[in-house]
Amino acid sequence: MLQILQDNWLLFLVGQYPHGPIGGLAMTMFMAVTALTLCFPFAIALALARLSPYRVLRLPATAIVHGVRGLPLIMFIFWTYFFSPLIIGRAVGGVETLVIALVIYEAAYLSEIIRAGIEGLPKGQVEAAKALGLGYFATTFKVVLPQALHNMLPSMVSQFVSTIKETSLGYVISAHEVTFAASQVNNVLLTKPFEVYGILALTYFTLCFALTSLARFIERRISAERGAAPGVTVTA
Amino acid sequence: MGYVFDLGAVLSGQYLNWFLIGIATTLALTAAAWCLAMTVGILLTLVRMIPFRPFEWFVALYVEYHRNVPLLVQIFVWYFGVPSLLPRWARLWINAHHGEFLLATVALGLAAAAYVAEDLRSGIRSIPKTQYEAARSIGFGYLGAMGYIVLPQALRIVIPPLINQTLLLFKNTSLAMAIGVGELTYRTREVESYTFKTFEAFAVATAVYLAVSFCIMALGDFADRRLKLEAR
C-alpha cells in the first residue's frame, strides 16, 4: 500500500499535471468549491420563491425541488452532457459538465436547507423589520438571511461534504478527478485493486471526516451561542 | 433543428424490452439492498445498545466510513477490491452468480444500513427514558417494556425517515451502472447508443425514475401525516 502511495501520490493529488490536464484531489476540490459557490444564488432564489406568498413563484420552485429530489444525480450529468452542446454549440468537457449538473442538483438540496433556516427564525424578526419600515428586500437580505445563513453553517458544511462525494461521479464521464486518477492507477497496476481503492476511500474519508467534525464543532458553538444569548427570550 | 422527437423509436421491440429489464433490475436491486440495509441496520442498532465500549466504537466507525466515503468508491472497493482478497473458488462462485449484481447489492445495502442505524438510534433516543422506567415500574420486563412501550413509539418517529432512506437507496442504484449492472441507467445508455435517440431514451428513464420517486415521496408524506395525527 505504501509502495503504491510512494509511486503515485502525485497522480492522486494533481492528476497528470504538469504533463497533462490537472486532475486528482485538486480537481475534486476545485469542482466541489465551484459547484457550491455557483449554486448559492440559485439556492437562495429557490428558497425565497418557495416561501413566497405568490403561487406563480411558489409552484414552479416547488416543482423544481421535488423533481430534482426524485432523480439520481447521474441523470442530470447525462442530460447536461447531451444538452449543453445543443445550447452552447460546442462539445463540453467533463469538468464543465459535472459542475453544471452539480450546480442544478445542489441548488435544489441547498434551497431546502436555506428554507428550513429561514423558517426556523422567530417570526418576530420579520415583524420587527417590517415595523421599522423595511421593505421586502431589506428585510430579507439585511435581517432574515444573515441570521438564517449563520444558523445554517453546519448544514452547509455537510452539504459541501456531499458535493465532494458527488464529484466522484466525474468518473462516469471521464472528468479527471481523484476517483478517475485512482482508476488510472488501478489500470496500470492491475493486481492491487483493494489497495488502490482502499487508498482512495481513505483519502475521501480523511477529507470528509475532517469536514463533518468541523460541522459538528460549529453546531455546538452555534447552539451554545444561542443558549447563552442574554435577555433574548422569543415567544413565537 | 430537424430533430424529430420520436418516443416510439425507443419504446418498441427489443428496446422496450431492454427498458423493462432495466426497470426490473433497478427494482430488484432496490429491494435486495433494502432488505440487507434493514437487517444490518437493526443489528448495528442492537450492537450499539450493548454497553461495551469497543462495540460502540465499531458501530461509530462503520457509520462514519459509510457517510464520508462516496458511494461510488464503496462500490468500487466491493467490486474490484474485495474479490481480489478472496480465495479463487469464492471468486469463481461470485463470477458465476451475477457478481456485479451481488456486489452492488452488498455495497448499496451496507451503505444504507449506516443511515438506517442512525435513524433508528435517533428514533429510540427521542423516546424519553421515563417511558421505559414507567413501564418497568408497573411490572413490564425488559422485553415487554421495549416491545410494548418504547419501540411502538419509536417506530412511529422512525418510519418517515426510513421511507426517505428508501428513496435515496432507489436513486443510488443508478451508480451500479458504473460496474456494469444492467439496471435502468445502464440500459438507457445501451438503447441510446443503439438508436442514437439520446433525448427519447433519457426522457423515458427520467420519467420512470420520477414516477417511482414520487410514489415513494407520497408514501413518506402519507406516513408523516398519518403518524403525526395518531400521536396527538
B223 close to A (CB below 8 A): no
* Unique residue bearing C-alpha cell 432512506: B165
Residue B4 lies inside a defined structural domain of this protein? no
Task: Provide the pLDDT for residue A190.
Answer: 82
CB nearest A82 (choices: B82, B198, B205): B198
Q: Which residue of A has its CA nearest to B173?
A: A72
CATH number of this structure's domain A2-228, picked from the four choices 3.30.465.10, 1.10.1370.30, 1.10.3720.10, 2.140.10.10: 1.10.3720.10
Task: Provide the pLDDT for residue A228.
Answer: 56
Cβ(A104)–Cβ(A43) under 8 Å? Answer: no
pLDDT for A236 beyond 50: no
Contact map slice: B 200-219 vs A, CB within 8 A: 202, 205-206, 209-210, 213-214, 217
Half-sphere exposure of A55 (CA within 13 A, CB side): 0
| Angle between the N-to-C axes of helices A193-228 and A145-166, in degrees from 0 to 180, rounded to the nearest 10 | 170
Contact map slice: B 83-112 vs A, CB within 8 A: 84-85
What is the residue type of A66?
H
Cβ(B178)–Cβ(B75) under 8 Å? Answer: yes
pLDDT for A161 beyond 90: yes
Q: Which residues form the domain of B135?
A: 13-224
Cβ(A117)–Cβ(A48) under 8 Å? Answer: no
Residue B17 lies inside a defined structural domain of this protein? yes
Mean per-residue pLDDT, B99-121: 96
Residue B230 lies inside a defined structural domain of this protein? no
Q: Which residues of B touch A212 (CB under 8 A)?
A: 64, 67-68
Q: Domain count of chain B?
A: 1
* Unique residue bearing C-alpha cell 425507443: B10
Mean per-residue pLDDT, A183-209: 92
Looking at the DSSP bridge assignments, the partners of residue A22 are: A15
- Contact (CB<8Å) B71/A212: no
What band does A90 get if pLDDT is binned at 50, 70 and 90?
A: confident
Q: Using alpha carbons only, give the angle A178, A183, A184 rounded to the nearest 5 degrees.
A: 95
Q: Which of A4, A12, A62, A69 to mutate to test the interface with B (most CBs of B within 10 A)?
A: A69
Cβ(B81)–Cβ(A193) under 8 Å? Answer: yes
What band does A2 get if pLDDT is binned at 50, 70 and 90?
A: confident
Query: By three-state DSSP, how is residue B82 classified?
Result: helix
pTM, rounded to two decimals: 0.90
User: What are B120's three cell numbers?
Assistant: 433508528
CATH number of domain containing B194: 1.10.3720.10
Percentage of chain B modeled with pLDDT above 70: 97
CB nearest B73 (choices: A66, A67, A197): A197
Q: Which residues of B touch A79 (CB under 8 A)?
A: 202, 206
Environment class of B21 (CB within 10 Å of its CB; exposed 0-12, middle 13-18, buried 19+): middle
B71 close to A (CB below 8 A): yes
Q: Which of B3, B30, B68 to mutate to test the interface with A (most CBs of A within 10 A)?
A: B68
CA dist B4 and A185 (Å) reads 43
Residue B6 lies inside a defined structural domain of this protein? no
- Contact (CB<8Å) B68/A209: yes
